Chains A and B, each alone.
Chain A
Amino acid sequence: MTHLIYDVIIIGSGAGGGTVASRLSALAAEGLKIAVLESGPHFPKEYFTQREIEMFDLFESGGAFPSADGTITASFGKAMGGSTLMYTGVTFRLPDSVVEDWAIDGLSSSDLKTRFEKLEKELHVIEPCQEMENDNNRLFKKGCEEIGISVKKISLNLKNCEQMGFCNLGCANGNKQGTLSVQLPAASKAGIELIPNCKVTNISEKKVRATIKKAPAGSLQGTLNEGIYEFQAKIIVLAGGTIGSSALLLKSGFKKEFPALGAYITLHPAMTVYGIHPKKIKSYKGFPKIYYSPDYSDSPGYYLETAFYYPFITSKNLSLWGKDLKHAMNNYNNLMAIIILVHDEAIADNKIKLNWKKEPVLDYKLSDNSIKAFCDAQAKASRIFFAAGCNEAVMPAAEKPLFSKEDLKGREPELFITPKTFIPNKVPVATAHLQGGCRMGKDKNDSVTDSWGKVHGKEWLYIADGSLFPKSSHVNPYLTIMALADRVSERIIATKDQWL
């Protein structure tokens, strides 16, 4: 085992870890030794081939990490840049109502607002112009307006976007402003080491044990060779995400001290649904996400956003087989798509735990409320599709998943898509917005960190990722994660004299 001494070790390089690294660049410039440990490889932009099966490499478990009961698959990054590598750049500020509902002492809307503004500037957040709208987005807007659903523009963090449309397979020209393009290069320039293929196996007071593996072909070699390492550091920042951070703390024996560790996770469960339009749409061209509707956010609790995916994932989302699947896929260039994102409740029984091999298990059950919200959202989405001119809709939870207006026989879609026809493990539900597990709070009996991400009673240990969320963010979470990571960094810098 090789022993190395650092001042700060950051575990994870996504929205949280990348942001902490960039903020601590000032300390690196002063001569402090800082490293980012990333369990996945460091892929250069030339690696992104825009082919689905080849880009499974960017994700943990090929993008389909299953929940224990198989009802949901989770998609998150396992590479330098974390999930910002394959997100779409959808930028939402945490709504004030959610900040209020979180009720974390010391975390206010005004504090977050300042950070959001700063981050949006750094990340080149823009409001998409009309030229960026593809047909799917135009038709979504039209359909919503026809039936009185309000539509808003989604802000995006892009710079010189060429609108190739393959955001979810990694940006081939590096113009998506994720941490791999913005924060990590800045941190590296300031002298912070980026160490890929480094799987952390245990943490204890000011110590991190890890195994570094060989860089896979096509990826960049880090500064350290293969082997087993022990890093000693004055400050350790965990930013491995809901599953990564929770599982590492569980493995390292922190559960006894923090009973809420791993618990209260939310997933922002998602389904992508489709309409078949008589005209060509080619939704995979241009920018996939421009509009959303928050109309049903308060009740029953979901957002509708535009989206689009490549052939394999589309076929999976359709949840059809036989002639129906062929029919829908033969109309691939005529498909309209909407992604439904449900605001799920944070309950103790939904948790990250470990199996007998000490591997993380996503123990999560879709609640009755989430199923009701999914059904209502599918009914609304089918209304939008038909209002936009689609002849047929594909709703996995419907009595008949592929249906035309005529098939409704005069019934409201809400009566055609009900919890009775929602069959778990048949209906494809996914998540890319895992949250909670190391939630912030006052008390170590029902939370893991304080409002600044410092683990209760551990001056050397911070958390800076989506696992801090005490409840669902309701919105795509990356900007909130970065804002919380910004707070963590601020606290680390402010207390430097105490820990250095």
Chain B
Amino acid sequence: MSKIYHLQYLKKNKLLTFLSVADRILPAEENSPGGGSMETAAVVDWYMNKVPADIRKKILLFIDVIQFTGVFFGGKKFSDNSIQAQERQLKWMENNKVRLFRMGFFGIKTFVEMGYYTREDIWTTISYDGPILPDRAYSDITIRELCQNKLEISE
């Protein structure tokens, strides 16, 4: 792989948090990788460039909220907490009485699912055949190549 995709939004702490959240939403199993990979993050990062700036800001802010409220569930930042503490925290957010937590969790979860299930290597793990016309070109080659795992990904 010679071409590189540089992450624009999911960097450093945000990337760490995103990868940990993605691994809880979609944990690794035998023959099926976890959600917390650079490939998933890159697809999400690409899409973030397309969403309105105010929504992108909210999502990125919520990633920080997850990271720093981790201290209440396992004593550390979310990405440093145990799997059990991370799951406890996400469940708390998902069912929270405060709507903003539920909305934030739903939003992040949706982004993770998008980043994961649009990847062609993941399609094979769920035996999804993909498009009947697989060779149709798309105007933005980057997302096609990211979904086909043809790009190197870097922060």
A residues apposed to B, CB below 8 Å: 46-54, 56, 61-62, 64, 69-70, 164-166, 172, 216-218, 282, 284-285, 310-312, 314-316, 321-323, 325-326, 329-330, 332-333, 423-426, 428
Are B32's CB and A326's CB within 8 A?
A: yes
Contact residue among A54, A172, A316, A425 (Cβ-Cβ distance under 8 Å from B102)? A425
Any chain A CB within 8 A of the CB of B51? yes
With A52-B118, A322-B27, A333-B127 already in contact, the answer to whether A172 and B106 are too (CB < 8 A) is no
Residues of A within 8 Å of B125, CB to CB, are 330
Set of chain B residues within 8 Å of A312, measured between Cβ atoms: 113-114, 117-118
Kindly provide the distance from the CB of B101 to the nearest chain A CB, expressed in whole angstroms: 9
| A/B interface sample: 22 pairs, CB < 8 A | A46-B136, A49-B131, A49-B136, A53-B43, A164-B133, A172-B133, A172-B136, A284-B128, A284-B129, A311-B118, A311-B126, A312-B118, A315-B113, A315-B116, A325-B26, A329-B126, A330-B125, A332-B126, A332-B128, A424-B102, A425-B106, A426-B94
* Complex: A314 Cα to B133 Cα, angstroms: 21
A interface, over-half SS: loop
Q: How far is the CA of A62 from the CA of B131 in the complex (A)?
A: 19
CA distance A158 to B131 in the complex (A): 20
A322 and B91 CA atoms in complex are apart in Å by: 10
Pairwise interchain contact B99-A425, C-beta atoms closer than 8 A: yes
Q: How far is the CA of A310 from the CA of B113 in the complex (A)?
A: 12
Q: Is B87 interfacial (CB 8 A cutoff)?
A: yes
A113 to chain B, nearest CB (A): 38
In B1-43, the 8 Å CB interface with A consists of 24-27, 29, 32, 43
Point out the residues of chain B lying under 8 angstroms from A166, CB to CB. Answer: 131-132
Closest chain-A Cβ to B126's Cβ sits at a distance in Å of 4
Q: How distant is B129 from chain A, measured CB to nearest CB, in Å?
A: 8
Interface residues of B in 65-117 (CB under 8 A from A): 87, 90, 94-95, 99, 102-103, 105-106, 109-110, 113-114, 116-117
Across the interface, which residues of A come within 8 angstroms of B137, CB to CB?
49
The docked-state distance in angstroms from the alpha carbon of A314 to that of B47 is 19
B147: interface (CB < 8 Å)? yes
Cα-based distance from A322 to B87 in the complex (angstroms): 9
Given contacts A312-B117, A329-B126, contact A54 B26 (CB under 8 A): no
B99 near A70 with CB under 8 A, answer yes
Are the CB atoms of A426 and B27 closer together than 8 Å?
Answer: no
